[in-house]
Amino acid sequence: MPRHVFITGGSRGIGRATAEAFLEEGDYVTIISPNTVMTAVRELRKKFPERIRCVEGDISDSDAVPQHMNKARAMLGPIEVLVNCAGIFTPNTELTTISSWNKVIATNLTACFLTSQEVIGHMMHARRGKIINVSSIAGLSYSKLGSEAYTVSKAGVIALTKHQAATYGPWNINVNCICPGQTQTDMLKSCYSPKSDDEEMLMKNIPMLRFARAYEQASVIVFLASEAASYINGAIINVSGGQQ
């Protein structure tokens, strides 16, 4: 039975791969993006014109989140699967302003709380629902590429996942989290020069000696949203090729 899947950060990287994976499964998908005319979005619209909708907006704008999600519900009905995939990062402490710190926390962590707050009421009433948050291995330790703000925000996503899983499990709501390692996305490419010492250093820390592909992260998210994962709740899944 097709479901309505709402994905933040769905216009690029892991989010874009996740949107396509759910569409391939036959689900209906709404993605929210600051720029809904991006090439990736146009490609998905062309391939799945009847089952994808786009909402233009900034997920870090807390006042606007309810409006964005109301638009999604008006187009495709109640949201049955929520995927929080939006994420940004800043440089380290000496280069981080309070404005950039707040932006990272708002996008990476607060948005997860706000979007889940918008869907949990309906999920409780329906006595079913799936929420999958995308954290990072940085949230389990620290980031060699990102900043303190990024690491703190991703650790917060893990804590939020565990708390919501324990709180809403009695309503048959599964809340889980994946922690991707380095994944071939535009965000990662912005952190280093290809074939540089930085790339070699990153590869050495990965037992599989390669970066993940976005679809490999997406496949785990789709699994967690499936009935095959009906008894998985509060899981923090490391998808990093063995990197700790």
The alpha carbon of 112 is separated from its chain's Cα centroid by a whole number of angstroms, namely 9
Beta-carbon-side half-sphere exposure of residue 60 (alpha carbons within 13 Å):
15
Is a pLDDT exceeding 70 seen at residue 69?
Answer: yes
- In the numeric block, the tokens 């926390």 are attached to 105
Q: How many Cβ atoms are within 10 Å of 190's Cβ, its own excluded?
A: 9
Q: Give the whole-number percent of the chain exceeding pLDDT 90.
A: 72
Burial (Cβ within 10 Å: 0-12, 13-18, ≥19) of residue 177: buried
Predicted pLDDT of residue 184: 81
In the block, residue with structure tokens 């720029």? 35
- pLDDT confidence of residue 203: 82
pLDDT at 221: 99
What does the pLDDT read at residue 209? 86
Residues in a beta bridge with 212: 183
- What pLDDT does 42 receive? 85
- Assess whether 215 carries a catalytic annotation: no
Separation of alpha carbons 100 and 98, rounded Å? 6
Confidence of residue 41 (pLDDT cuts 50, 70, 90): confident
In this predicted structure, the answer to whether residue 30 has a pLDDT above a threshold of 90 is yes
* Domains with residue ranges and CATH for the chain: 4-235 (3.40.50.720)
Mean pLDDT, the chain, integer: 92
Average pLDDT over residues 173-196: 79
Q: State how far the Cα of 132 lies from the Cα of 41, in Å rounded to an integer.
A: 21
Across 175-183, average pLDDT: 94
37 pLDDT above the threshold of 60: no
> Across residues 141-159, what is the average pLDDT?
88
Contacts of 95 by beta carbon, 8 Å cutoff, 6+ apart: none
Average pLDDT over residues 195-216: 83
Residue 120 has pLDDT above 60, yes or no: yes
User: How confident is the model at residue 136, as a pLDDT?
Assistant: 95
Higher-scoring residue by pLDDT: 38, 70: 70
Q: Write out the DSSP string of 105-135.
A: HIIIIIHHHHHHHHHHHHHHHHT-EEEEEE-
CB 157 within 8 A of CB 112: yes
Q: How far is the C-alpha of 78 from the C-alpha of 50, rounded, in Å?
A: 17
Catalytic residue among 150, 168, 192, 231: 150
* 226 confidence band (pLDDT: 50, 70, 90): very high
